[in-house]
A and B are shown apart, each in its own frame.
Chain A
Amino acid sequence: MEIRYDSPRYPSKQPPMRIRVLVFARLRELLDGGERSLRLPEGASVEDAWDALVAEFPAIAQERRCTRVARNGRLGSFDDGLNDGDELALLPPVGGG
């Protein structure tokens, strides 16, 4: 599945970035699948990616508070900017062991 999202803040004059989104556990269930591709305008942040997902899956909105993000396998923050081709993992509270 691919969601195309044109942020009002970032009118899509440039070719959009493609972001690979991985979600796990509860978020995977709410998004009905573990992996998807997002198209976001150049300059979009992790926050923008999240908002794009919330637009399609409103049920995840309340998960925001306890979700951590990893960009290309490294922990990051919702403020981080994204680059074309980034892998963005959305991590609910962990509980291994």
Chain B
Amino acid sequence: MAELFTLPVLLGIIYSGIRLATPYLYAAIGETFAQRSGVLNLGVDGIMLMGAYTGFYVAMKTGNLFLGLLGAATAGLLMGLLMSVVSVSLQAEQGISGIGLNLFGLGLSTLLFKVTLGGVESIRGFQPIRVPLLGQIPYLGEIFFNHNLLVYGAFLLVPLANYVLNNTTFGLKVRAVGQNPQAADTLGVNVTLIRYTTVCLGGILAGIAGASLSLALINLFQENMTSGMGFIAVALVYFGGWRPWGVLGGALLFSFVNALQLWVQVKGINIPSDIAVMMPYILTIIALTLSGRRARQPQALTKPFERGEN
């Protein structure tokens, strides 16, 4: 056990924890917006896959990573739009539509991958950028300020999302629509429009989350490459109590523990690998039991809105 508590190991855990948290952050922050407006989008995983595929394909064909990112965002937007139509306009049961969206995204990304690429190839993704000055700080510079653009983006997204939710007219509408859509409606707030916006925003961010895998972390596309990360992202939103800072805490905790379990294995500590792989999940449950009733979920979460009902 002692071999885990050396400086290089701890720095390694923090460094990979930060990198690993990136896709979760994009996806979970996007999902936070959707849920704060009252829509549970369980289809994040499928959207991430579409984003990962599209981002990769575009980047590969154009040779431009930023176009790839744009492509991923667009794919996410379209998936978000589909989810909005189904769950907001057609008022479908949100949990189930999410499962449908996942199947759709998983299938379509794989199908397109087969038809357009055929096999696995890799590209040169976003490279680490050392932040001037800060990047020179011993140790800290390396683990905090020597990442690729998408990692920085994910962490900057947190305060930004927090600001938008709490200090803008849009954020106020989102919060109101998620708590009491009838009330918002009587004040002329377009409930449907707000929900479309948040779900689409969530879609865009989930798309970028996928791209952060295929364009920055792994640099290739493979079918079902997210293997359920989207579900974890949704879980992190609950974990974070529907607040961006809380989501950040959850994403870091989950990623750190995941990094830790890999280190446990690397260091040859005698725990069956299957049990080690369980650790992040068990820890998340434990952390949840400790944080229990802390936050109240948006009152209208999963409830479709229709005018005239009260």
Q: Do A and B come from one complex?
A: no
